[in-house]
Structure formats: C-alpha cells, structure tokens
Structure 1
Amino acid sequence: MSIQAQAVIGALYGDEGKGLMVDRLAAATPGGVVVRSNGGAQAGHTVVDPAGRRHVFHHIGSGSFAGASTHFSRFFVAHPMLFLDELSALNERGAKPQISSDPRALITTPFDILINQAVELARGAARHGSCGLGFGETIERNLQPQFALSTKDLFRPDLHARLVSIRDSWVPGRLAALGIAALPEELAAVLADEITIAGFEADCAAYLDHVTLWPDRRLCERGAVIFEAAQGLCLDQNRGAFPHVTRSNTGLANIRAIAAEAGVTELDALYATRCYTTRHGAGPLKGEVPTLLGVNVVDPTNAPNEWQGSLRLAPLDLFTLREAIADDLTSDRSGIAVKAGLAVTCLDQTEDGFAVTDQEEVIRLDPAKAAPDIAGLVGLPLWAESWGPRRRDVKLYLEAAVASLTTQ
C-alpha cells in the first residue's frame, strides 16, 4: 500500500512563506498532522488566522488554524520556556491543536540560551546572525551523553541533578572552549540564580501536560502527514556558507529519514520562494541592494532586532534557486518516490518592471505571469502562488494530489 505525504521546504534563506503554504495545505487535508522536521523555536512562520490576525508560529505547526495537529520529530528542538506562551496565544484565537513529540526530540535549557547570547555578544560586529535562542548550543551540548537532554529525559527522577551538572560542569567548560573568560553581568546573574533551574523545571512539567509522547515510526497513525521544514536550503549546515548556517538539515534529509521510519512511500516536496530574496542575519547574499525596484516589500514579522539586524534584500537569483533545489533533490531518498514543485510567494508586492536574475542576466517579468515563468526557468512545475498573506490568497495547483491524501 502506498502512503503519501507532503512537505513544505524553504528554497533559500528562510522567510519564503512556508507557514502560509502549510496552512493552505492543511486546509485542503482534513485531519492532517504537521510534522516539524528540523529547527526549533527560532523558526518564525507567519499565518493570518480566519479573523485576519497574524500569528508567528515558532514551535507549533502552521496548520493549527486549519485544524491540523502537530508532531515534533526526533530532529526537532523543543523550548519549554517559550512553548506555553505560544500555545496560550493560539488557544485565545480558538486553535487548540493536539501535540505529540518523538521521545528523542531535544530540549533547550536556559543555559543553552545563556551561552548562545554570550558568544554572539562577544563577537560584536562579527556576529554570525544567531537568533539568540540557544538552538545551536542545544545541538552542541547533546553531543555529550552526560549532558544530553531529550523529551524522554524530562521524566527522569534525576532531572534536577542533570540540570545542576549542565550548569556547573558543561557551562564553564563550554565557555572556556569558546574563549569566553567572563559573562556579561546580566547573564552571570541568571547563571547563578537558583530560580533559573526551578523555573525551568516548572516549564518542563507544564510542557509535558500538553505534549503526548509518540514515536516517529507511528506518525501516519496521526493522520495525513505534512512536513514543515524550518529555515531554508541556503542555511543548511551542509550546504550554506559556514559559519552563517543553522545547525540542522533544512531540506529533504531529515524529512526522508522520518518518512522512511514512518513507512511513507511517496512524497510531494513543495519548495517555497518569494519572488525576491530576503535574508535576516549575517552571511553572504548575492546581489544585495538597499531597496528593490518594482517591489514594495511588506514584512511585519522580520522586524529589526539586536540579534539579526534588519531584513536584507536582493532580486531573486534563479541560478542560486535552481542549484539549491537540484542539490537537495539529489540526496539519498531512502527508497521514497519524491516529486517536486515550486511555490512562488509575495506576488502581491510586485509592480510592473520587477526583475529577477539568472547569474548576471537580468530578466524582467510581468507580475501576472511571473510565477509560471519563474517555475519554468527553474525547471519545476508550479504548484502554488500567493497574492497576499491569507489562505484565500493562495492559488494551489496541487489540489488533486492533496485531495488524494485523504483516500490513501
């Protein structure tokens, strides 16, 4: 029996409209489950709810307003300190998603955040572009078994002792390895305060009240699967420009591993891109310009902040887009049949005369025909295009394939 799943993947540097696409697919897939395949709370996937209010999803799947449940895969990094606020905000808007987690999903502690922020502050103008939420440091700490902390470990009777060990042994050693001789005063106070651990333990207990342990291998029992990737292909730890990358696999690698474990046999991979390029944080950005001609950029989510600065802009470079997707598609598929298509977003922000590039060639596009033109030049079928921030603004050309999910 064939088991089909969908995946939404950012094709460049993140912020491509993944949340919008997941919301649209979830609305077309009653009873679906959105699977977070990488990343953690540093993700920021924006969805406009049915009442017109914006919500930025960090943990919980972006299909929640469409009634989808959420699953945290073994590659996801959960952040109990931020989780409850997000869940509360969703509940206030009428979304009450059922949430499950693979027992192997990692857990961010306050000490991972502390180290992350201390290192970025020490770098000054040479910051790597981290969000300051401890994601990469969580990955690093979990490479050491004696300091590892996954979701299943939150049930351990010695949880408190393990957190004390992380604070008293891991943190000093890690800071020394990073060349940090002394913490800034405010971070040192957090490290020394006993309330830090007590508060975190309370957050973990509350987290477990809302999250059911469920192994990835039984994922398809939860409903039709929609994988929601975080960040973008050009930020992949094995593909992006080091050190300006995320500590995860942002494309098919994690998705196919989860899918193979769950028994998925067919996967539709929807690669999302804006009709221009953005990057939030440090690192190279080909063709970067202060402003884009023919594009009225609207992005209330990526406001300037002390960790990532201001949103950066460039015309969409088709060569970069084409190469990133092609590279992702050549990875080992674990016997899973993969079909790929393109989603082009933010077309409502374009004017006559807007342009994309293909290496050094400038290509001017008619906004009304830009999405199929871009897809054709990239060599993929056009599966979706968006003309605004709401579900109703998305033209989905994958309806037949999506509908088939409910009949498998």
Structure 2
Amino acid sequence: MQATVVIGANYGDEGKGLITDYLAALSNTNTLVIRFNGGAQAGHTVQLPNGLRHVFSHFSSGTFAGATTYLSDFFIANPILFTQELEKLKTCGYSPTVTIHPNAVVTTPYDMYINQMFENFHGKKRHGSCGVGISETIERNLHTKFQLTVKDLFDQEKLTAKLLNIRDEWLECRLDQLIHRKLTQEEKDLISSEDILEYFLGDIQNFLTYCDVADYSYLDKWDKLIFEGAQGLLLDQEHKGFPHVTRSNTGVQNVSTIAKLTNINHLDIHYVTRCYLTRHGAGPLLNECPSCPCPNFKDETNLPHKFQGSLRFAPLDIEELNTEIAEDLNKLSKQISKNVTLAVTCLDQFEEKIAVSKGAGNTIELAKKKFIKYLFKKTKFDNYIFSYGPTRADCKPAVEFA
C-alpha cells in the first residue's frame, strides 16, 4: 500500500493546508487524511475558489475536498477547541467524519492555563508558543499518575478523579517549577472553579459523541491515504534551534513509525515551502527582514498574537532547505520506497524579484522566472508543484510552468 505525505519544510505556515486540499481534491477515491503530529496549535488555511475559507486545527485540510479525518496517537486532542472548530465548520455547511486513536493524549484547561501563565511570566523572553497547552500536555503525560488519553475519557467517575488530580496536585506543582512562586488566592479560586471542570466534562462528552475511536487497523479500509503534518522541519523537537521548537516530530519520523504498523511500503512525500521564509514566534531567523518583503502580501491566518508576536520574514535559503530535507529523509525506514516533491507557495505575492539567501548576511535578488530556474538548478527533487494563489486552482505541477 502507498500513501501521500505533506510536510512543512521550514518554521510552519508554509501552505500545508493548501497542498493537502489540492492533493485531496485530485483523488477520485475514498480518501483518509491522517494528522500525524501536533494538535490544536496547527492553523492550516484552506480557501476554495468560491471564497469559502477555514483554518483547520483538529480537522484535516482535506475536509472541503470530501476527505475523512483520522487523528493518530501522535496527535494531541483538545476537546474544548475541537468543539469550537466543529461549530465553525457546521456554519459553513460541513459536518466532517472524525476518527481518533485511543492512545492520543488529551489537553485539559489546566494545561492551557499553565502554558499561558508561563508565557506571561517570561514577558519579552517568552518561548513564543500558541498558548493552547501543547508542551504542557506532553510534559504531564510523562507522569503516569497524571496521564490522560482518549481511552481514559469513557469512564466518567475515573475521568473526574483524574481531572481533579491534575487540577489539585499537578497544576500548582508544575507552576512552582516554571515560575517559582506560589499562586495567589485569586488564582487558586480561578483554577479550582467547578464551572471550569463541568464545562470541560461537557466538551469531552461532545467530543466522544462526535468522534469514533479506532486503532491503525482502521487505515486498511481506505483507498487513498494522505498524511498531513503540522509545524515544519525547523521546529522539530530534535532540531538545533532548541529550545525554540515544538515538542513534536514534525518530519517523516512519525509517518515511518505508522507505516511499519500498517501495510504502507511506499510514500509520495511533499515538502512545502513558501518562496520566502516566515517565522511566527521567538527564535533565530537568518537574514531576517526589517519588514515584509512581499509587495502583494496577504495573510489572514497569521495575525499578531499575544504570545507569538507578529509574523517575521526572511529570504529562503535553498542550500539549507536541501540539507533539512535530506536529514529528514534519513529518518525514513529503508524498507519504504519514496518519491519526493517540493511544493513552493505564495509566488503570487511577488511582482518581479524574489530574494534568496546565500548564507549569513548575504542575499541575491532574482526575477520570478529566474528564481524558478535557480530552484531547479540547486535542488534535485522528483517533482515540483508551484502555487500562484491561495486556492487549489492556483496549484500547478512543474510541467505546466516549463
């Protein structure tokens, strides 16, 4: 069995939602999109030619193309934000089918609270997270007593006991580790609110009512599999950019693990990059631009954020792109064959010249057609896709630009 994979090649925000939607729309068979990392911090924008637009977090970016969503055991589920996103999709006329692995970990409102307290405490030196509790969920689940996964959600009595343990024991202990002070009485009153617990139990019930639960044998039922990644290679938890990374394997590693558990023996891997670099959050950014370099820049998704700040920009470093992708492909099992595509988005945002990084402090500017030729010359991928706009209709394989 073969599958398609979509991976961000940079710091996220490359256009993974666009490419996933494009690939799902090309499929004329029964299609399942698998979220293989990350969680509610993902913001994958899909816009249809008719103007309908949604930023996908829990649901796959193949939803508008009719694909079903599967949340793997590497996914971090957040019943609060799942419920909110579902309501938005329903107003668009969509009620997508979702299945989740029983071992997927679950974020609580207490993880979100810890995350936001930590970011507020560090001020300008903050990590730059989205504030939805991703890292804190993973940290808590390293401790057996406080673990919470999807399979733990069905027994109401045991679930309530677990949540009370997290609230009354874990939360204050963890905050003491992170911000080195005791909670004020006002803060204690807030987190001990029974309303927070009751509302969360209600969101969990909605989550369980809507989602089916199944292990990886569920994948055998589908004709077409698309693995949709979150964030990007430069944010991988093992990347040299630590600590300004995400606690997730953002490349092919998780896909390779899932492939070994199923009958997948071939992957069509799509690495996605804008024709320039962006970073939304703290951390290094080589040759960072003082302002947006794109004359026609438009991004309604990556707006200024309380913890992440404003979107940052830099020229694309093609040599670094090659290196990061090569290192990621080394993590793929040798038993799995592959075909590699580079998808380049946002070409419509430049009218004439596009800057390219040539190392620290050095950039060159190329006319748009020369940029594409330069890309062909400096990279050696099996296929290329170029996008000149925000919808699947704007995505074309390289042969159409020859």
Task: Give the TM bin, normalised by the shorter chain.
Answer: over 0.9
Measure the CA separation in 2 of the matches of 1:11 and 1:171. Answer: 35
Measure the CA separation in 1 of the matches of 2:398 and 2:209. Answer: 39
Letter in 2 for 1:395: K
Paired position in structure 1 for 2:396: 395
Measure the CA separation in 1 of the matches of 2:128 and 2:198. Answer: 30
Paired position in structure 2 for 1:23: 21
Paired position in structure 2 for 1:39: 38
Task: Summarize deviations over 1:274-309 as a string: whole Å, max 9, x none.
Answer: 000000000000010113546432211100011100
Alpha-carbon deviation of 1:222?
3.4
Task: Summarize deviations over 1:147-186 as a string: whole Å, max 9, x none.
Answer: 1011111012410011001111111221122233144787
Measure the CA separation in 1 of the matches of 2:222 and 2:308. Answer: 36
Alpha-carbon deviation of 1:261?
1.1
Paired position in structure 1 for 2:269: 269
Secondary structure of the residue that 1:264 maps to in structure 2?
coil
Alpha-carbon deviation of 1:357?
1.8
Task: Summarize deviations over 1:101-153 as a string: whole Å, max 9, x none.
Answer: 01011100001001101111111110111100000000000011111011111
Alpha-carbon deviation of 1:312?
0.2
The alignment yields a C-alpha RMSD, in angstroms, of 1.9
Q: In the alignment, does 2:172 pair up with 1:172? A: yes
Paired position in structure 2 for 1:107: 106
Paired position in structure 1 for 2:378: 377
Alpha-carbon deviation of 1:351?
2.1
Secondary structure of the residue that 1:245 maps to in structure 2?
coil
Secondary structure of the residue that 2:326 maps to in structure 1?
helix
Letter in 1 for 2:117: A
Structure 1 segment 62-81 matched on structure 2, within 5 A: 62-81=61-80
Is the 1:64–1:96 contact (alpha carbons within 8 Å) kept by the matching residues of 2?
no
Measure the CA separation in 2 of the matches of 1:386 and 1:186. Answer: 51
Paired position in structure 2 for 1:49: 48
Measure the CA separation in 2 of the matches of 1:98 and 1:388. Answer: 28
Measure the CA separation in 1 of the matches of 2:109 and 2:240. Answer: 27
Q: In the alignment, does 2:12 pair up with 1:14? A: yes
Could you tell me which runs of 5 or more consecutive residues in structure 1 were left unpaired when the two chains were aligned. 400-408
Secondary structure of the residue that 1:178 maps to in structure 2?
helix
Paired position in structure 2 for 1:406: none
Paired position in structure 2 for 1:230: 230
Letter in 1 for 2:33: V
Alpha-carbon deviation of 1:96?
2.4
Is the 1:355–1:362 contact (alpha carbons within 8 Å) kept by the matching residues of 2?
yes
Is the 1:8–1:22 contact (alpha carbons within 8 Å) kept by the matching residues of 2?
yes
Is the 2:339–2:382 contact (alpha carbons within 8 Å) kept by the matching residues of 1?
no
Measure the CA separation in 2 of the matches of 1:279 and 1:58. Answer: 18
Count of aligned residue pairs for this structure pair: 397
Cα 1:247–1:375 shift into 2, 3 Å = farther
Measure the CA separation in 2 of the matches of 1:154 and 1:74. Answer: 15
Cα 1:291–1:386 shift into 2, 3 Å = same
Is the 1:257–1:334 contact (alpha carbons within 8 Å) kept by the matching residues of 2?
no
Letter in 1 for 2:13: D
Letter in 2 for 1:79: N
Identical-residue share of aligned pairs (%):
47
Task: Summarize deviations over 1:362-401 as a string: whole Å, max 9, x none.
Answer: 34333245345324413223431110001101113599xx
Measure the CA separation in 2 of the matches of 1:373 and 1:395. Answer: 18
Measure the CA separation in 1 of the matches of 2:390 and 2:186. Answer: 39
Paired position in structure 1 for 2:249: 249
Structure 1 segment 256-335 matched on structure 2, within 5 A: 256-293=256-293, 295-333=295-333, 335=335
Paired position in structure 1 for 2:95: 96
Measure the CA separation in 1 of the matches of 2:139 and 2:106. Answer: 12
Cα 1:351–1:187 shift into 2, 3 Å = farther
Is the 1:342–1:375 contact (alpha carbons within 8 Å) kept by the matching residues of 2?
no
Measure the CA separation in 2 of the matches of 1:204 and 1:48. Answer: 29
Task: Summarize deviations over 1:38-62 as a string: whole Å, max 9, x none.
Answer: 0000000000135302210011000
Cα 1:397–1:95 shift into 2, 3 Å = farther
Is the 2:176–2:182 contact (alpha carbons within 8 Å) kept by the matching residues of 1?
no
Alpha-carbon deviation of 1:92?
2.0
TM-score normalised by L of structure 2:
0.94
Could you tell me which runs of 5 or more consecutive residues in structure 2 were left unpaired when the two chains were aligned. none
Paired position in structure 2 for 1:402: none
Secondary structure of the residue that 1:225 maps to in structure 2?
strand
Cα 1:311–1:212 shift into 2, 3 Å = same
Task: Summarize deviations over 1:303-348 as a string: whole Å, max 9, x none.
Answer: 0011100000001111221111111011142621122110000000
Alpha-carbon deviation of 1:29?
1.4
TM-score normalised by L of structure 1:
0.93
Bigger Cα displacement from structure 2, 107-116 vs 313-322? 313-322
Measure the CA separation in 2 of the matches of 1:203 and 1:115. Answer: 20
Measure the CA separation in 2 of the matches of 1:33 and 1:369. Answer: 37
